[in-house]
Amino acid sequence: MQMSRRQVLGAVGAFSLGAVLTSCAGFVRPASTPATGELTFTTWGSDSELVGFRKAITGFESANPGAKITLNVVPYQQIYPTVDAQLQSNTAPDIFRVDYRNFGRYAGSKQLLNLEPLLDASVGASFTDALWRAVQFDGKPYGVPHHTDTTAILYNKAAFAAAGITSVPTTLETAWTWDEFEKVALTLQRKLPAGKYPFAYNWQGQGAARWLNWLFQADGRFLDKKLRSPAIDSEAGRAAIDFTKSFFTRKLVPANNSVKSSTYASDLFFSETVAMTFAGAFLIPDAAKLANFEWGATFSPQDKRGGGDLGGNALVATAGTTKKTLAAKFLTHMVGQKTMRDFCATSSLLPTRKDLVDKGIEFTVRPELSKVFVGQASTVRAADTAQVASPAMGAITTVLSDQLEQAFIGGQSTKDTLAGMTAGIKQALSR
């Protein structure tokens, strides 16, 4: 093939321009340089989350003419089988959304892009320590913490008033202790009609890891500091199992509130079967629509310390993406201050950026409840999130689910439950 002089010059020019753009985007702050190309982005999402994602994508495409993000939405139940199959067949998206409990599995299997050489060095400092730790594997960032969520309490105001409970904690420091929470539950139990219960806990639907809130509140761990061995067989572990088992033996929760139940805690709250439910902030828009009664929110109880689960999701790029720089630039955009504030406010989710946590955000729906959830999220420690980010967390969640189910409604003793958890976690870590 012969090329004319003009074609040769054009090709050299295009090559040089591409090289310059690539180098700029890779080593300078990604947000400052326009980028081009197409990325595929696979996610699940509620209606409000998808509105937020689309708005953020439009913002990125406007700031970077020539960049295109193709959004692929799949149902939550199918996200991991879908992404896994795509990774196995080398047809994975460039970017996907992953919850923190599954993050370690992908990072540990070398499926994710190491963002360390692609992100500006200051990016990590803009997140809270706990959340930045949640996207690390072997000390390197393999994703960005897009948002978080954690568990607080929603309560039925009329049921509380009928039981003579006139106030709830309004600051994190005055959150109920375990004893105080138990007293509130017992007071409710005495006043509620038959078939109604004081509260429900949200550990259904692969949510068994939310039981760890009690363990963290008792100042316990489920993995040792090196994250290589189980550490749940401890005084804190015993206390957490004993306390949560008592919910069932004392009938403080409905019998179908166990871990494998198909009835979610929120449904029990909406139907007024329970007077309180433990819930994430993401539930606020649904509660505003579905709860036909006045309700409020307060902090989760505390024992030796406050504690909460690491809800929410990270955004990650796949190791096989051919557009690493563009991917890093898009991820940086998605966790920018304005983008994150808009997304979190619309979706009732919590920010991961320090500046937004410090300033606080206002949910679009029930903005007065934002401070409860933002405050509760501050109880999540980096030491907790490091354990949850373990590559074995998926298997550990199944162990927790099986053992807690046996303890709560199978009559299994605390000693056997701890032994079962220890053996299961050990096996999960050995795979």
* Contacts to other proteins by CB under 8 A: 80-81, 84, 87-88, 105, 109-111, 195, 206, 254-256, 258-263, 268, 271, 273, 394-395, 397-398, 402, 405-406, 409-410, 428, 431
Q: For the CB of residue 246, give the shortest distance to other proteins in the complex, in Å.
A: 16
Q: For the CB of residue 31, give the shortest distance to other proteins in the complex, in Å.
A: 32
Q: For the CB of residue 137, give the shortest distance to other proteins in the complex, in Å.
A: 14
Q: For the CB of residue 224, give the shortest distance to other proteins in the complex, in Å.
A: 21
Alpha-carbon distance 299 to 278, whole Å? 9
- By beta-carbon proximity to other proteins, the closer residue of 16 and 249 is 249
79-to-44, 72, 92, 242, 396 alpha-carbon distances in Å: 7, 10, 12, 35, 20
- By beta-carbon proximity to other proteins, the closer residue of 168 and 399 is 399
Burial label for 71, CB within 10 Å (0-12, 13-18, 19+), is: middle
| Number of Cβ within a 10 Å radius of residue 216 | 28
Tokens found for residue 289: 């629509």
What is the dihedral sign for C-alpha 278, 282, 288, 291?
A: negative
- By beta-carbon proximity to other proteins, the closer residue of 62 and 262 is 262
- By beta-carbon proximity to other proteins, the closer residue of 252 and 297 is 252
Q: For the CB of residue 271, give the shortest distance to other proteins in the complex, in Å.
A: 5
Q: For the CB of residue 395, give the shortest distance to other proteins in the complex, in Å.
A: 4
- By beta-carbon proximity to other proteins, the closer residue of 154 and 259 is 259
Task: For residue 295, list its beta bridge partners.
Answer: 156
Q: For the CB of residue 106, give the shortest distance to other proteins in the complex, in Å.
A: 8
Strands (E), 195-326: 197-200, 274-280, 295-298, 311-317
Cβ atoms of 319 and 94 closer than 8 Å:
no
Amino acid letter for position 164 = G
- By beta-carbon proximity to other proteins, the closer residue of 110 and 415 is 110
In terms of phi and psi (left: phi > 0; alpha: psi -120 to 50; beta: otherwise), the region of 424 is alpha
- By beta-carbon proximity to other proteins, the closer residue of 34 and 410 is 410
- By beta-carbon proximity to other proteins, the closer residue of 88 and 171 is 88
Q: What is the CA radius of gyration of the chain?
A: 23
In terms of phi and psi (left: phi > 0; alpha: psi -120 to 50; beta: otherwise), the region of 91 is alpha
Q: For the CB of residue 247, give the shortest distance to other proteins in the complex, in Å.
A: 13
